[in-house]
Amino acid sequence: MRILITGGAGFIGSNLSRLALSHGHEVVVLDDLSTGFRDNLDGLDVDFIEGSILDPSALERAVEGVDSVVHLAALGSVPRSIADPVRSHEVNSTGTLRVLEAARAAGVGHAVCASSSSVYGLNPALPKSEREWVRPMSPYAVSKLSTEQYTLAYQQSYGMDTLAFRFFNVYGPRQRAGHVYAAVIPTFLDALLRDEPLWINGDGSNSRDFTFVGTVCSVLLDAVERKVSHPEPVNLAFGTNTSLLQLTRHIEEVAGSTADVRHRDPRPGDVPHSQADNASLRALFPDVTAVELEKGLQDTLQWFRDVS
């Protein structure tokens, strides 16, 4: 089948492209390279279109002849959204609407879109079920709530088979450090390899349900191949709960070295704790197997060493 991956030159998208090609699928990548990297796709036989999801002509080209869309293109990062909320809305909310509408106009019957666990926001419940109330704490979280709700609305309004996943702190190879909006695991690994301090925002008690990118991509591809659709959002995580202090200890163990851990003020908009109830995921994808954090960190650390 022919699969369009928006944001396919990014961290998750490039891993998914590799997996889809290994399964014999054709892959179209639409990416404006604002946060993705062309060299993430080096050596891959993809139909690459450099363009924005806000550009109707680029979208029209990208969806032509496609069987399914995996919409990953987004402007990530809570701090970035606080600095520029309008841009986050344009890319994440309006961009999703444009992707879905382009797919509908082209007769594409299936779309999988990426939302975020950040939509739960101030809800203190652990683990977090998809039927729990949401209260976003940042413009980014609001924009991802819009992403998932547009995805589900197209299912109800137009009969499109859609699936909205809430991602929980995805990490793994090809997730880069070295920029102000980098995620915590690549930032910590990069700092450790450079013998630099590991800066924790707050006291380190904040916790996350870290999910390895290989597992995420396996679920995404399975969803595409089976044209899975669901009327509610689906948490894509496995119910783990690791504090930032625990994460630093895991990283020290896999790296075989001691980190210089330092603390600074908490960041506005950061959710205190995140842990998924994955009953819906297990029901829809009963064969999925999670990668343990230690194994995922080892693979990620090896990638960092290989590219350094």
Tokens of 240: 């783990």
pLDDT in tens, 4-46: 999 999 999 999 999 999 999 999 999 999 999 999 999 999 9
CA–CA dist 26, 67 (Å, integer): 10
> pLDDT tens-digit profile of 130-180?
999 999 999 999 999 999 999 999 999 999 999 999 999 999 999 888 665
CA distances from 200 to 181, 197, 293 (A): 14, 9, 19
**Which CATH code is given to the segment(s) 2-168+211-238?**
3.40.50.720
pTM: 0.94
Contacts (Cβ under 8 Å, ≥6 apart) of 225: 1, 23
Domain ranges of the chain: 2-168+211-238
Query: Residue 44: is it exposed, middle or buried by C-beta count within 10 angstroms (0-12/13-18/19+)?
Result: middle
Give the pairing of strands 68-71 and 47-50. unpaired
